[in-house]
Amino acid sequence: MKYCLLLAFLFQFLSCKEAPKGLEESSTANKIKSEVAIKYAKGFTIEKLDSGITLIKISSPWPNAETSFTYALVPKEKAAFITLNKDEYDAIITVPVENIVVTSTTHIPALEALEVENSLIGFPDTKYISSEKTRALITNGHVKELGNNESINTELLLTLKPDLVIGFSIDSQNKTYNTIQRANIPVVYNGDWTEETPLGKAEWIKFFGPFFGLEKKADVIFKSIETSYNSAKSLAQKATSTPTVLSGAIYKDVWYVPGGKSWAAQFISDAKAHYIYKDTKETGSLSLSWENVLEKGKNADFWIAPDAFTSYSKMQESSAHYQQFDAFNRKNIYSFAATTGATGGLLYYELAPSRPDLVLKDLIHIFHPEILPDYEPFFFKPLK
């Protein structure tokens, strides 16, 4: 009888001990423990589960996306004890990752800020990367050239066997990523470029943090950028003038300018200047005739980002219409096109989304030189 009671007790005890493990392994038993604070970005969220799993949800992988993506990040030390239903997630990634491939130059500054640039082993179109740190990795062969983003060299990528590919796509029709996923290499979409505000773009550094176990570091980095940006914005409000600003240039008889709700327009507003197309509702660009722009911008005080022009002579050669604008005649045009990397890549396209505070300070210095008299512009330089 004692023997039977002992067996019954042991059976009940072991059953009770096994139950929690079964619950932990079930994805349906995972409850949200906390959410990472995302203050400005609209395109992603991060949730922490009781089990230690991190869920990253991407709602804006590209403009007007009709689908969202959910990625489960499982800590390596728990991977053997957690079983997830693969049908519930677009990718399951064991973290921290050690080797990755990224596909946009805007991803490079985040890796460098987190000090994990050595994890990068492949990139399409490496010639566009401007950062000195990452260019050194390319030169010594650590980062492999993978063709171009539209047709990545999947054969080479598969031989690299990265733990993760951070994807960039303009729509859902990217067959290359499907090929990579079929080889059991997870692809995670990054939509930083779809954000409409300067700080919204910069906050995507928090997207990268969890893949390397560096969530706290990513948060500290972003808070520093946020503080720098908002301090500069507050300083600009002390200016006693509000100059008018023109932007863009003619390309094949069409003048492209930033929309009034774009991140470029937000910079001008935060620098306490009046953008001549501020009242338009577009978040991207506007396509206009040069007559329309002349009517609104002939008397503008400043002209910024005139496409890829770096000199007045080149602008004049391109179109005689430019000479009709006051900013052209007064030599008040500023461009980021002259700030390039070793292979000619424009540093603005790579770094500006991650460092909006530098862009804002550049513009404040241009529009209100008395506010930041000793500041050395980083991106925007006067045309030659």
Query: Are 45 and 18 within 8 A, CB to CB?
Result: no
* pLDDT score of 218 more than 50: yes
Give the residue among 23, 360, 382, 21 at the shortest CA–CA distance from 202.
360
373 dihedral zone (left: phi>0; alpha: psi -120 to 50; beta): alpha
CATH number for region 240-382: 3.40.50.1980
Assess whether the region 25-225 and the region 240-382 belong to the same CATH fold. Answer: yes
The pLDDT of residue 10 = 37
* Per-residue b or e along 11-29, where b marks 16 or more CB atoms closer than 10 Å to that residue's CB: eeeeeeeeeeeeebeebee
Q: Tens of pLDDT along 78-95?
A: 888 888 988 899 999 999
* pLDDT score of 3 more than 80: no
Give the residue among 169, 166, 167, 222 at the shortest CA–CA distance from 198.
222
Beta strand 54-58 pairing with 69-75: antiparallel
* pLDDT score of 24 more than 60: no
Q: Tens of pLDDT along 311-330?
A: 999 999 999 999 999 999 99
Q: Tens of pLDDT along 261-290?
A: 999 999 999 999 999 999 999 998 999 999
* pLDDT score of 31 more than 90: no
**Mean of all residue pLDDT scores within the chain:** 91
CATH number for region 25-225: 3.40.50.1980
The residue ranges of every structural domain in the chain are: 25-225, 240-382
Instruction: Give me the percent of the chain exceeding a pLDDT of 90.
Output: 82
Put simply, whether the predicted model's pTM sits higher than 0.95 gets the answer: no
